[in-house]
Structure 1
Amino acid sequence: MALSSPEQAAAAKASLDAFFGLTGKVFEGAEKLAALNLQVVRSTLAEAQENMTKAPGTTDPLQWFALQSGFTGPFTEKSLSYGRQVFDIASTTQAEVTQFAQAQYERYNARVQAFVEEAAKNAPAGSEAAIAAWKSAIGATTTLYETLQKTGQQAVQVAGNNFDAVTATASKAARRNAEQVPAAAGAKG
């Protein structure tokens, strides 16, 4: 594929750089998620092994239930922590991709505006209305893009706040349940 001008070659290089930059951001997020999943599996297996070694030593059913409830509290907390970390990885990756897309959009928008300005300089007499309409359309597109970007950021923020609220409520409930079962086992024993 031969490019006919240095501008086309530069544009092709910029497009490839943009593609590989975006791909890199997505893979960084996938790597973080994979590392988190491996860490969770490793710690879950270690805890399961530890818990399995404790269970055979219990002879009293109430002790066994207390031991089981001791497993659910930390499991719930760790599940909530895992969900939070996944959400953080997704949010960070989304923010990086959005920032990258914003930079690409700004570069593209600057080129379009420069093109329109150059076209306006070289336009024949009487084409002022068409140039003004073109500039107005570019301005409207920019406004729409900015509005969509702000709406997306607000949606992510609301989702994060809702996730925090649900996590806090679930964490409190798990702690309350974990405290009630050993207390009941101690009262009956």
Structure 2
Amino acid sequence: MFAIPEQFSNATKANFESQFAIFSSLASKAFEGVEKIVDLNIHAVKATLEDSAATARQLLAVKDPQEFFTVTAAQAQPTAEKAMSYTRQLATIAATTQAEFNKAAETQIAETNRKVVALVDEVTRNAPAGTENFVNAFKTSIGNAQAGYEQLSKTTKQAAETFENNVNAAVGQFNQAAQAAAPKAAGKK
């Protein structure tokens, strides 16, 4: 008779531990993603400063306006390519972090669901006579919660895929625009 409260106490403890594991895992993945973005930004700023200094030296050595436009036009394509590379790298970091988030969350939630189902099965086997309606309602609510999680998981995956596709499309459009602008800039020589 006293086994059911103990089972719920153990299940509550296991649920808390599982939620803590999910939080720890997601926090770790978030910090890894932020670390990658910070590293990417540091490298991008350093490269931009070096390029700006080189361009400034070239512009200071210019003798006439025609040469000024030539030097300026020559910088358009490499700058656009570097911006596209940065955007691709940022999108890759975001997509990778999102995938790791999803994987970690799915693993932890699947384990939690398995434990809940095991607890429900154990409790229903030991349920006193006359509680069949309550047990069935409880099982139904657990089933509905799992179905809701599965739908949320599918929707989250679709949103992540849509985000990645939109970023890739934007990078492609930016690439096309940069490639179209480079010949025009070079033609102003």
Q: TM-score range by the shorter chain?
A: 0.7 to 0.9
**Equivalents in 1 of 2:13, 2:148: separation in Å?**
30
Q: 1:131/1:11 Cα in 2 relative to 1: closer, same or farther (>3 Å)?
A: closer
Match in the other structure for 1:127: 131
Identify the residue that residue 3 of structure 2 maps to in structure 1: none
Q: 1:62 to 1:23 in 2, by over 3 A?
A: same
In 2, Cα distance between the equivalents of 1:173 and 1:89? 24
Relative to 1, partners in 2 of residues 1:180 and 1:154: Cα closer, same or farther, differing over 3 Å? same
Deviation of 1:12 (Å): 6.0
Aligned AA (1:54)? Q
1: CA distance, partners of 2:187 / 2:67: 11
| 3-state secondary structure, aligned to 1:170 | helix
Q: 2:84 aligns with which of 76, 80, 86?
A: 80
Find the partner of 2:175 among 171, 177, 180. Answer: 171
- Name the TM-score, length of structure 1 as normaliser: 0.84
**1:23 Cα deviation (Å)?**
2.1
Distance 1:18 1:112, change over 3 A: same
Distance, in Å, in 2 between the alignment partners of 1:12 and 1:128 is: 28
Counterpart position of 1:108: 112
Q: Secondary structure at the match of 2:63?
A: coil
Look up the match of 1:118: 122
1:52 to 51, 56, 66: 56
Paired letter, 1:38: I
Among 25, 32, 46, the alignment partner of 1:28 is: 32
Distance across 2 between alignment mates of 1:126 and 1:14: 33
Write the letter of the residue equivalent to 2:121.
E
C-alpha change, 1:10 and 1:156, in structure 2 (3 Å) is: closer
- TM-score, length basis structure 2: 0.84
Match of 1:146 among 141, 144, 150: 150
Give the CA RMSD over aligned residues. 2.4
How many residues get paired?
A: 182
Identity %: 34
Instruction: Mark the CA change 1:144 to 1:18 in structure 2 (over 3 Å): closer, same or farther.
Output: closer
Runs of 5+ unmatched residues, structure 2:
1-5
**Per-residue deviation, 1:16:** 4.5
The offset of 1:121, in angstroms, is 0.9
- In the alignment, what sits opposite 1:96? 100
SS at match of 1:123: coil
5+ residue gaps, structure 1, are none
